[in-house]
Amino acid sequence: MKFIDNKNILLGICGGIAAYKSVELLRLLKKNSANVKVFMTENSEAFVGRLTFEALSGQPVCSNFFEKVGSRSEYIEHIDWAEKADALIIAPATANIIGKIANGIADDALSTLVLAVTSPKIICPSMNTNMYRNKALQRNLDRLRKDGFFVIEPESGELACGTSGPGRLPEPEYILNRLLFRLSPKDLKGKNVLVTAGPTQEYIDPVRFLSNPSSGKMGYSIAGVAEKRGGRVVLVAGPTSLQDPSNVTVIRVRSAQDMALAVFEHMEQADIIIKAAAVSDYRPIDSCKHKIKKKKDEMILSLQKNQDILEELGRRKENRFLAGFAAETENLEKNAVDKLDRKNLDIIVGNLIGHPSSGFGSDTNKVTFFYKDGTTEALPEMRKDEVADILLDRIVTMMNSSTFLGNK
């Protein structure tokens, strides 16, 4: 992922049962092309062996300054790492390390490292609920927040020690998500971003509907990336099985008419509107109250056109930035450019569907941007969150340009 690619991340691991989740966090960081150096406290080695972290990170683990690595002591090594670090995460962070950092104590490799790191520092407390609620611990966490540390609150639930309440380490995906938030530029700060995602469902009777195979992944990726870049994001989503992106207002809808209502309710405040939803063009004229029984061999369904939400947004656009999508099976350029003009858009993201790695349901997409000034930009196949980042890069550039209507 762009803002973590090739970045130097320090991963501190303390002695808590949640240390097993750090293995997955490390794997995710490496999968996203980060360089990771692991620092373990002595106690953490009772939970997970250092070999696991060394194998996954491709780096020796540091737990003691005085061990030699080649001809240099670890002490020198870890000061080097502190200087070149882009971020430090401690997950799980025990009450002990939190107390030490809050009070500037440096009596082992990890606590000493923390004092030397100047880049963003993320602390993920994980412990027994009563320990977490303890006043001294809370006081230390407050002090860390005031000192500029970013504390990821633990989740509530059943803990390994048998108690129930706050103290559980969040899932590694969430920790990675919040790290990305820290590392992303805040170039959408102050902007309201309205995104639509997923399919719509048009009910024929209580148990059947017309829809399409859109998974919603593209729109959810855009909403997630826009939030990380500082935007205030509202996501209007048709039925999907995806988890709500962090810190995004999600409005769940079913039909195209519901989607239109939600979009028009939120469009006034929006500076940027990105319509990634695959809206059903038609709905049944009559939706039956009861399940339709099969009778004749043939059945005729009468449909009526849904409102084109994007076209209406184009009419009411004023100085908003408007982006649409065009998923086509043929004549991509002709169809996309026609929609760009007809719907009064600033950009349209076109892709050819029918290929397994591009379009509905897949994690990747191969898209072409068609701009209002007649230029095009074809991107190679990439993950949908990468497409989202590049799309937002282009939107930010266009909105900052002197020719953008919103700047006049």
Q: Annotated catalytic sites, by residue?
A: 161
Quick one: 229 or 339, whose CB is closer to ligand CTP? Answer: 339
Q: Is 306 in the site for ligand CTP (CB under 6 A)?
A: yes
Nearer to ligand CTP, 34 or 253 (CB): 253
- Size of residue set near ligand CTP by CB under 6 A: 14
Class of residue 287 by CB neighbours under 10 A (exposed 0-12, middle 13-18, buried 19+): middle
| Cβ-based nearer residue to ligand CTP, 223 or 310 | 310
Which residues in 246-265 contact ligand CTP (CB under 6 A)? 256
The residues facing 323 across adjacent strands are: 274, 347
Q: What is the DSSP letter of 245?
A: P
67 binds ligand CTP (CB under 6 A): no
Q: Which is nearer to ligand CTP, 14 or 347 (CB)?
A: 347
Smallest gap from residue 365 Cβ to ligand CTP (A): 14
Least distance from ligand CTP to the Cβ atom of residue 358, Å:
15
What count of other Cβ atoms lies within 10 Å of the Cβ of residue 105? 15
Query: CB of 63 within 8 A of CB of 33?
Result: no
Tell me: does residue 351 bind ligand CTP (CB under 6 A). Answer: no
42 contacts 17 by C-beta, under 8 angstroms? no
CB 104 within 8 A of CB 147: no
Q: Which of residues 99-118 bind ligand CTP (CB under 6 A)?
A: none
- Under rule CB under 6 A, residue 279 binds ligand CTP: yes
Q: Is 387 in the site for ligand CTP (CB under 6 A)?
A: no
Q: Does 399 bind ligand CTP (CB under 6 A)?
A: no
Residue 309 interacts with ligand CTP (CB under 6 A)? Answer: yes
Contact 283, 256 (CB under 8 A): yes
What's at 122, amino acid-wise? I
DSSP code per residue over 143-186: HHHHTT-EE-PPEEEE-TTS-EEEEEPPPHHHHHHHHHHHHS--
Q: How far apart are CA 59 and CA 356, in angstroms?
A: 36
Handedness of CA 158, 161, 162, 167 (dihedral sign): negative
Among 67, 205, 308, 381, binds ligand CTP (CB under 6 A): 308
Mark residues 310-339: x for contact with ligand CTP by CB under 6 A, - for none: x-------------xxxx-----------x
Of 39-47, 128-136, 228-236, 272-280, the window that binds ligand CTP (rule: CB under 6 A) is 272-280
Closest separation in Å from C-beta 214 to ligand CTP = 10
The stretch near ligand CTP (CB under 6 A) out of 147-155, 176-184, 222-230, 304-312 is 304-312
Computed from CA positions of residues 108, 5, 53, 60, in that sequence, does the dihedral angle turn out positive or negative?
negative
As a whole number of angstroms, the distance between CA 59 and CA 62 comes to 9
10: its two tokens: 């320090």
Residues at the interface with ligand CTP (CB under 6 A): 256, 275, 277, 279, 281, 306, 308-310, 324-327, 339
